[in-house]
Amino acid sequence: MIDDWINPITVLQVKNAFITLLNFSMVGVFASILVADRDNWRDTYWQACFWIMVYLIGEAAEQFWYWAWRHFANGNPYWLTDWRMLSVIGLNGIIALGGIYIIKVFTAARYGHRLWVAVSGMCFLLALASLALPKHG
């Protein structure tokens, strides 16, 4: 139905560009807070800001990558080879690292220092289990 009035790829391109710019803007906000408050780097608030910023850097870079993929390669899966695929995996590693440490910072005082390990492990196991889901086509 959406094809009748607008191209879905155009919608995705505008969405990716907007999210990329929004994420980089948020990185700027968090970076300015961290620089202004750099003497309190051991404070939980500072650590939370730092790891949220790391997460957003990964998200922003990955959204930019998807925008570039659709813009320059028209979403061609053959473009996902060699260094390009390693780039996506690396960006996902940054996102995962930021996400894991966000959970650690926000749960350590209330739930102990092991919850983040359990949550990370469960996410990894569920991700592996997703390989067993039936594929379409």
| pLDDT tens for each residue of 59-111 | 999 999 888 888 888 878 787 778 888 888 999 999 999 999 999 999 988 99
Q: Is the pLDDT of residue 113 over 80?
A: yes
Mean pLDDT of the chain, nearest integer: 89
Q: Is the pLDDT of residue 22 over 80?
A: yes
Q: Is the pLDDT of residue 14 over 60?
A: yes
DSSP secondary structure letters along 38-54: GGGTTSHHHHHHHHHHH
pLDDT of residue 21: 94
DSSP secondary structure letters along 74-91: TT-GGGSSHHHHHHHHHH
**Residue of 103, 17, 92 whose CA lies nearest to 57:** 92
Token pair 């780039």 is at which residue? 87
Domain ranges of the chain: 2-132
pLDDT of residue 3: 59
pLDDT of residue 6: 80
